[in-house]
Amino acid sequence: MDLSDSPAEAAFRAEARAWLTANRPDPPLPSGDTATGFALHVEWERMLFDAGWSVVSWPRRYGGREASLVEWLIFEEEYYRAGAPQRVTQNGIFLLAPALFRFGTAEQQNRLLPRMAAAQDLWCQGWSEPEAGSDLAAIRSRALRDERAGGWLLSGQKTWTTRGAFCTHLFGLFRTDAQAPRHRGLTYFLVPLDAEGVTVRGFGRLDGDEGFADVFFDDVFVPDDAVLGEVDQGWHVAMATTGSERGLTLRSPGRFRHTARRLVHLATTRGDDLDPLLADEVVQGWMAAEAYHLFTLRQVTDMLEGRDPGQASSLNKLFWSELDVRLHTTALELLGPAGELDGPWSRGFQFALAGPIYAGTNEIQRTIVAERLLGLPRK
């Protein structure tokens, strides 16, 4: 396989690199999980949109460039290479949008996608509840049909809602048939957070950032066009969303290749004092990041040839989440006592620890791989 860029891909890479180099914020923006930082990140997102870099793989009518999947991977690689800001629009453009393209009506796509790309509507994910974490089918939030008004009344609570304190809209599952089996009777709703009856309560994380939120719904009315996909068929839409969350859409290889390069650079600053065992960990981490890159290229090839990755996204999630912890653990070991100070590596380590938990715990992902990919018995 020829892994080098084609002439068109090389030109795309050069254009992306030049723009990002010229326009990335310097100094870097504060955390997008704080109120001040989030507002600055939204300005950056709108700058990306105005220049045509917000959603490069989308159709032009929605603000994209109609870039290929390979070109999207190239952009992601150049984005992280440039040290550009985190994407606070990621839950919309990387998670909800693929589901909208697949299950949304033409009206929903035309109404929602341009505003999403332009960072006018900012989406958070309403999955977890107090009694439903990785067991998504255990959700209790409900939606009752309101025939006279032609819509639904939503009630319940979502928690651990990333950037929910700052976003304008939420997508999530609500139970529309309480008598149906666990994985049925669920419907996927799109909800404006300024709707009457919605209460958003932000709360701080361990690192002090306040972007998390509890979101409460008290008979919140939404019209029928707030349903994505079919009523009572929300599980299928949600599984498409989780496939994006666990797969290459949310965590492209460019993110981890950049971290691996930073780790190699950190190791070189240690000179002759570098412990041989740590040196080996650095090399192993770099090799793993490159292996993830090659793995995703194979997935892209499958997708271009019409093969859906399906449950293989669980393999992605296992690999990138454990790789992220490994790279940051090695960095802290290289830093020694200085690694306990607040800084990019310590912050990155704290966030990496969440990787094996969010998007479905790695224990759940191993069960999926065992049963659905390897065909092993349930017991």
> Is the pLDDT confidence value at 144 over 60?
yes
- Residue 349 to residues 251, 299, 334, 361: CA-CA distances in angstroms? 16, 28, 13, 17
Q: How far apart are CA 376 and CA 118, in angstroms?
A: 45
Q: What is the pLDDT of residues 160-218, one digit of tens each?
A: 899 999 999 999 999 999 999 988 999 999 999 999 999 999 987 777 788 889 999 99
Q: What is the pLDDT of residues 206-257, one digit of tens each?
A: 777 888 899 999 999 999 999 999 999 999 999 888 766 556 666 889 999 9
Please check whether residue 202 is in contact with residue 191, taking contact to mean a CB–CB distance below 8 angstroms.
no
Portion of the chain with pLDDT greater than 90, in percent: 74
What is the predicted pLDDT for the residue at 245?
55
The DSSP code for 183 is: T
What is the predicted pLDDT for the residue at 131?
85
Q: What is the mean pLDDT of residues 295-316?
A: 82
Question: Which region, left, alpha or beta, applies to residue 342 given φ > 0 means left and ψ of -120 to 50 means alpha?
Answer: beta
Question: Residues 6 or more apart from 378 whose CB is under 8 A from it?
Answer: 371
Question: Does the reported pTM lie above 0.75?
Answer: yes
Q: Which amino acid is at 375?
A: G
Note the helical H segments in the chain: 7-23, 35-50, 69-81, 90, 97-103, 106-117, 234-246, 253-268, 276-304, 313-335, 344-352, 362-368
Q: What is the mean pLDDT of residues 317-331?
A: 95
Q: Which amino acid is at 358?
A: Y
- The CA radius of gyration of the chain, in Å to the nearest whole number, is 21
Q: What is the mean pLDDT of residues 122-129?
A: 94
Q: Which amino acid is at 180?
A: A
The CB-side HSE value for 346 (13 A sphere, CA atoms) comes to: 11
* b/e sequence 20-54, b meaning 16+ C-beta within 10 Å: beeeeeeeebbbbbbeebbebbbebbbebbeeebb
What is the predicted pLDDT for the residue at 137?
87
Q: How far apart are CA 244 and CA 233, in angstroms?
A: 18
The tokens describing 123, both together, are: 């989406």
Long-range CB contacts (within 8 A, 24+) of 339-346 = 345/266
The tokens describing 25, both together, are: 């914020």
> Is the pLDDT confidence value at 273 over 90?
no
Q: What rounded mean pLDDT belongs to the chain?
A: 92
Least confident window among 68-77, 124-133, 205-214, 252-261: 205-214
Crossing angle of the two packed helices 7-23 and 69-81, in degrees rounded to 10: 30
Which residue in this structure is represented by tokens 């310097």? 26
Write out the catalytic residue numbers. 245
